[in-house]
Chain A
């Protein structure tokens, strides 16, 4: 069965610092991997996804994630945090038969300090 582990329920960084949000998954087959973000009072928004091909995936707002099969990881990074990045981030995996519904992690709240 597929599952996702997000290390750290809260991550705190200073504005301008590197953002690293960790995600490890378990999957019986090559997975589809996603990062979603939820800003306050808004819906879950897709940041980026990995399906096939290039393992480094670029998303919106300067975020990117790298699929590492050997480490079963899909960590999310951004070189320089901005105050507007403060939100909750969810990693998800889908390897089920169609319709490939995602299984989510517990989420990580990103706190950005001035």
Chain B
């Protein structure tokens, strides 16, 4: 099966510009997640979609970040206007998790990430 696909792999923009990152999850995965890693630091949670609904957006840094998942398929993450501190690698992940009982672990499948550099 195809994995999680992210585009672009690398984007370099000027401060104040807009960038849109796209994620195509594994087909059939209702759950889609965005994470971010600033250089040398932890991979941090941004938000979680279940189908087209935002389940948890507690990790979104501020209102310059807008995530959408129209139709419950692919998702976009827009940063507008971009600031220097937004530089990092943005990971998308998906999972089939539906609240299984015995093994509650939710195993996420990650994409290769989109590296954003804001100059």
Contact = CB atoms under 8 A, between A and B. Distances in A.
Chain B interface residue number, banded: 20 to 34
Chain A interface residue number, banded: 20 to 34
Interface in A12-63: 32, 34, 36, 41-46, 49, 51-52
Given A99-B48, A101-B33, A46 B41 contact: no
A56 to B, nearest CB: 17
A106 interface: yes
A49 B48 contact: no
Contact of A104 (B43, B56, B104, B106): B43
Nearest to A4: B42
Given A104-B42, A105-B42, A42 B112 contact: yes
Interface string B1-13: 0011000010000
Contact of B104 (A43, A98, A106): A98
Contacts, number: 70
Given A36-B110, A99-B97, A106-B42, A44 B105 contact: no
Contact of B112 (A32, A41, A52, A99): A41
8 contacts: A9-B40, A43-B109, A49-B107, A51-B103, A98-B104, A101-B106, A102-B106, A107-B42
Interface of B: 3-4, 9, 31, 33, 35, 37, 40-45, 48, 55-56, 91, 93, 95, 97, 99, 103-113
Interface of A: 4, 9, 32, 34, 36, 41-46, 49, 51-52, 90, 94, 98-107
